[in-house]
Structure 1
Amino acid sequence: MMASLSERLDRGEIILLDGGVSTEIQRRGVPLDANVWSGLTTKTHPDQVRQVHEDYIRAGAQVITANTYSTARHVLESINLGHEAKALNFKSVQIAKQARDNAADGEVWIAGSMSSMPPLASDREVAIGAHVEASYQELAEVLALAGVDLIITEMMRDIDNASMVIKAAVATGLPVWIGYCTMMAEDGIDVKSLRWKNTESIAAAPDFTTLVKTLSPLGGQAAGIMHTQVGDMEPALEVLGKHWSGAKLAYAETGCLLLPEGRVEEVCSPPDYAAEVEKWIKKHGVQIVGGCCGTGPEHIRALKHLLSHLTK
């Protein structure tokens, strides 16, 4: 019988996650929506979404992430498609399962993504409120019903929003991995939560230490840093290590996301990224590695090569 993800983490194994799903779909010529990012591509370009998953599996990913990052009901409502939320999320998981059936020759797990992303055209940094909370609960329940193996809460960067997301995910009973995204404070020393919309309505970014200390008691099997510039990862991992004793994950941006057009420029090549990831594993005990925006199958292939040498 194959060991579960939890068992593998408990015995110190390193798990290889996939790379960016949305940016890889976009790189292949599929247009992304100005409000719901890659959310509609499950509906409009299912074959391309499946191919991205398959390519990550063939590159070595042991965990692939269903295309549900931006498909919560409150996000889809921004383009009058809230009523399609359940069906769209269910289909996203089914496409990931098809990719696994087509490409996997070993154990591959499917993660459902739940993120803090509001509609992109909104001036809100994150979405909050009772309706949003119900939307996250619905998303978590649909992901569990569709058969994901775990849920990753992505871009956790605000206490109110992240609390809703994490609680909804944990309530399913599935393993939950918590992905924080960070940036350096103006002093170049302290770490704070990522802010990426330059509008006047945005509150100051919370101190990262406060964020982790507040959210860690909510649960989760693993926690770590994602959607963060490669050079900012180590300071954030240092802070995390002081307030989180569970398994750690790390998957950085290897490309620079240019808004509002949504284009991604590569800033960290596969070999360079593998060298950075090796440091995170050795210095910070990271056990779950992969990539975020800008990361493609070649980056994951480089990480697979790295892990094959580290585990000898």
Structure 2
Amino acid sequence: MATLTLTDLLNAGPVVLDGAMATELEKRGVTTNSALWSATAMLEHPEAITAVHQSYLNAGAQLMTTNTYQANVLAFERAGIAAPQARQLIQQAVTIAKDARDADAQQVGQQRGMVAGSIGPYGAYLADGSEYTGDYHLSSAEYQDFHRERLELIMAAGVDLLALETMPRLDEVQALVELITTTWPQQPYWVSFSIRDPQTLCDGTPLAAAAQWVAQQPNVAAVGVNCTKLANIEPALKTLSAATKVPLIVYPNSGDEYDPSTKTWQTTTLSHQFDTFVPRWLAAGASIIGGCCRTTPADIRTIADLI
């Protein structure tokens, strides 16, 4: 069975990314309201992770992200899990995604999906919401020291590409990209920023300047934004498309709004209205579209149907 590349998928038209992991795990009875978030499932409910990946493949997703966004050895150790087990769990998350992809390929007679190794920012490890503020600062060497072990584990487990996700700071992305391109010089990756508004990263960097920097780096597969509200996507795409010709990736939240005081989500008039927005995103230049927090296989199926 021929191995897919992202170029193959993009050559056939816009590509469908998967949606939220934690939301679907909660539906399957997995508690995710801890500092480990959806990574908690790897301890006791790996079969639930498999089921979520399969549900997105069945909905039409062509790209699956591993359940490693908030999974790193330091976070597991902080939760009382020994480093050797933590390393095993991180690699297990990659294996689960690959096994789901391969089982799907066997069932339908062709490979429909690729696996992207999810790398969340240092702010996700802090588990205080700072991936949405960028309110932290490390040196380039410190960023690389933080990210290196998880990257090594994910790369050793074997992913098709890397997903640098919900990145609120350009300096962290610069350190990460330097680490990736010098250690694994052939490895493709995408960069998706966390934004304050459609023109600005959370750390205050202009989105256009950040995208231009990313576009000049080797092996970059796409650049874009994620984990923001639906209404921010079209203007962000206009900012991005004016700045770069690299494929653009967007995966917003469902449209529900998060209340940090009660730590709950509230539905809005825009919740899950992908049928309204996706045609506008395609017209604005989106090449890869998926979902982030609170999105479901039904949302991904809507995206796939529209594409």
Quote how far apart the aligned CAs of 1:127 are.
6.3
Q: Deviations over 1:115-169 (max 9, x none)?
A: 1123214877456344542231222222121111111100122122222233334
Alignment equivalent of 2:149, drawn from 121, 134, 138:
138
Quote how far apart the aligned CAs of 1:81 are.
3.6
The amino acid that maps onto 2:102 is D
* Structure 1 Cα separation of the partners of residues 282 and 95 of structure 2: 32
The amino acid that maps onto 1:162 is V
Name the structure 1 match of 2:190.
177
- TM-score (structure 1 length as normaliser): 0.83
Name the structure 2 match of 1:128.
138
Q: Tell me how large the CA RMSD over aligned residues is.
A: 2.5
* Within-5 A mapping of 1:1-312: 1=2, 3-9=4-10, 11=11, 13-81=13-81, 83=83, 84-104=85-105, 105=108, 106-107=110-111, 108-116=113-121, 117-121=124-128, 125-126=135-136, 128-129=138-139, 130-170=141-181, 171-172=183-184, 173-184=186-197, 191-194=199-202, 205-219=204-218, 220-254=220-254, 255-259=256-260, 262-267=263-268, 268-270=270-272, 272-282=273-283, 284-307=284-307
Asked whether the equivalents of residues 209 and 243 of structure 2 are also in contact (C-alpha less than 8 Å), the reply is no
Percent identity, please.
Answer: 26
The amino acid that maps onto 2:104 is A
Asked whether the equivalents of residues 190 and 223 of structure 2 are also in contact (C-alpha less than 8 Å), the reply is yes
What is the number of equivalent residue pairs in this alignment?
A: 290
* Structure 2 Cα separation of the partners of residues 122 and 75 of structure 1: 15
C-alpha spacing 1:125/1:29, structure 2 compared with 1 (3 Å): farther
Asked whether the equivalents of residues 86 and 142 of structure 1 are also in contact (C-alpha less than 8 Å), the reply is yes
* Structure 1 Cα separation of the partners of residues 294 and 154 of structure 2: 25
Asked whether the equivalents of residues 150 and 174 of structure 1 are also in contact (C-alpha less than 8 Å), the reply is yes
Q: Which runs of 5+ in 2 are unaligned?
A: none
C-alpha spacing 1:4/1:218, structure 2 compared with 1 (3 Å): closer
Q: Which runs of 5+ in 1 are unaligned?
A: 185-189, 195-203, 308-312
Q: Secondary structure at the match of 1:49?
A: helix
Asked whether the equivalents of residues 18 and 65 of structure 2 are also in contact (C-alpha less than 8 Å), the reply is yes
Quote how far apart the aligned CAs of 1:260 are.
6.3
